[in-house]
Amino acid sequence: MTATPILVVGGAGYIGSHTCLALSERGYLPVVYDNFTSGHPEFVKWGPAEQGDIRDKARLKEVLAKYQPKAAMHFAGLIEVGQSFKEPEHFYDVNVSGTLSLLQALSEADIRNFVFSSTCATYGAPEYLPLDEKHGQKPINPYGRTKHIVEQALGDLNLCGRMRSVMLRYFNAAGADFEGRIGEWHSPETHAIPLAIETALGRREFFSIFGEDYDTRDGTCIRDYIHVNDLADAHVRAVEYLLNGGETIAINLGTGNGTTVKELITAIETVSGRPMPIKRTERRPGDPPGLVASNALAREVLGWDPKHGIDDIIRSAWKWHSTFNGHSD
C-alpha cells in the first residue's frame, strides 16, 4: 500500500520538519512545500520537497496536481512579533494574503481538510489562567492579529462548506528531535530556550531577564513550554480527526504547566553544568506575566497527552544546539 500524501506547507521550518518526521513514522508521506526563506533544505528528510511560495497559486496548483494530498498542514509564515511591528504590510501579505492564496488553491483542487498553525498570541493579554479556548481573542500585536484573521476566515470557509479545519493554538514551542537530526534554527533567534542555551555554550555574551518584579512565584514571567514532538503528535492526530470527518475546531496546545524564566535558567545550568552570564533589564512592553494553557479540549477531542516536560525539552534542545552550530545571526 502506498503512503497517504499530506501537504506540509512550511515543512522545512522548525515545527513543520518535526511534524514531517511524525507523519512519516505513522505511515504518511509528508510533501513539503516551502520557499526556504526561514526553513532549511537539510530539514526535509522524510518526503519530497517542492520549492514555492504560498502566494504563488499557480505553483501550488501544480504541486497539488502532482501529489494529490488528502489534507494540508499550514506552518508557513512570518513568526517574529517584533518584526510584525516594523513590517506589518509584509506580515499581512504573507500570513493573510498568502494563506488565502493557499486556501483557494486547495479548494480548487477539492482538498477540504486543513490544519492551521495558530498561536496563543491570538488571545492577547490573559483575563484568567489557564487560558481555555473560550477566552476572548484580542491580539495585541500585528502577528497575533494576522493569525486571528485567518482563524476567522477558516470559520467562514467552514460555514460555507468549503473547508474543515483544526486551528492549533500553540503556546511556546521548544525542544528538538531526541536523536539530534533536526532542531530549532531561527535567524534571528528570539526564543528564550535557544538564546539561553547559546549563552551557556558561550556563543552569546549574556542572557537577558526582562523584569523581575512580576506578580509570579519568583518575579519573572511564566510561560508554558511545549515539546515540539508533542506538537508534531497533535498535528498527526488533528489530520486523522479531519480525515475521519471531524468538525472545524480551535484547540490549545500546551502542557498546562508554567515555567518561570529563573526556573528555565536553573534547569539549563543543571543540564549544561555551566553557569550563565545574566543581564537584568526592564520589563518589555506587551509581555504578560503568565501564559499557561488549558489543554482539556486537546485531550478530549484528539486524545492527546503531552509526554515531555521541561527537563526533556532542555535535554533535547541542549543536544541539538551543542552539536549544531549553523546559526548565521
Ligand X SMILES: NC(=O)c1ccc[n+]([C@@H]2O[C@H](COP(=O)([O-])OP(=O)(O)OC[C@H]3O[C@@H](n4cnc5c(N)ncnc54)[C@H](O)[C@@H]3O)[C@@H](O)[C@H]2O)c1
Report phi then psi at 43, rounded to 5.
-85, -5
For 107-131, b/e burial (b = at least 16 CB within 10 A) is eebebbbbbbbbbbbbbbebeebbb
The minimum distance between CB 318 and ligand X, in angstroms, equals: 18
Name the residues annotated as catalytic.
143
CA distance 7 to 52: 13
Nearer to ligand X, 63 or 268 (CB): 63
Q: By C-alpha distance, which of 135, 142, 115 is closest to 293?
A: 135
Residue 54 has phi, psi (to 5 degrees) of -70, -20
CA distance 64 to 79: 25
- Of the two residues 192 and 268, which places its CB atom closer to ligand X in the complex? 192
What 3-state class would DSSP assign to 35? coil
**Residue with Cβ nearer ligand X (117 or 229):** 117
What is the C-alpha to C-alpha distance for residues 249 and 166, in angstroms, rounded to an integer? Answer: 5
| Beta carbon nearer to ligand X, 172 or 220 | 172
CA 180 to chain centre: 19
Q: Shortest gap between Cβ of 35 and ligand X (angstroms)? A: 4
Name the minimum Å distance from CB 74 to ligand X: 7
Q: How far is the CB of 173 from ligand X (least distance, A)?
A: 3
In terms of CB distance, is 148 or 319 closer to ligand X?
A: 148
224 contacts 254 by C-beta, under 8 angstroms: yes
Other Cβ atoms within 10 Å of 169 Cβ, number = 24
From CA 146, how far away is CA 78, in angstroms rounded? Answer: 10
Q: Which is nearer to ligand X, 77 or 289 (CB)?
A: 77
Kindly write down the DSSP assignment for every residue of 231-290, as one continuous string.
Answer: HHHHHHHHHHHHHTTPPPEEEEE--S--EEHHHHHHHHHHHH-----EEEEPPPTT--SE
Segment holding 132, helix H or strand E:
none
CB of 221 to ligand X, least distance (A): 15
Residues found near ligand X in the complex (CB under 6 A)? 10, 12-16, 34-39, 53-55, 75-77, 79, 94, 98, 117, 119, 170, 172-173, 186
User: Least distance (Å) from ligand X to the CB of residue 139?
Assistant: 12
Cβ closest to ligand X, residue 54 vs residue 276: 54
CA atoms within 13 A on the CB side of 193: 30
Cβ at position 1, least distance to ligand X in Å? 30
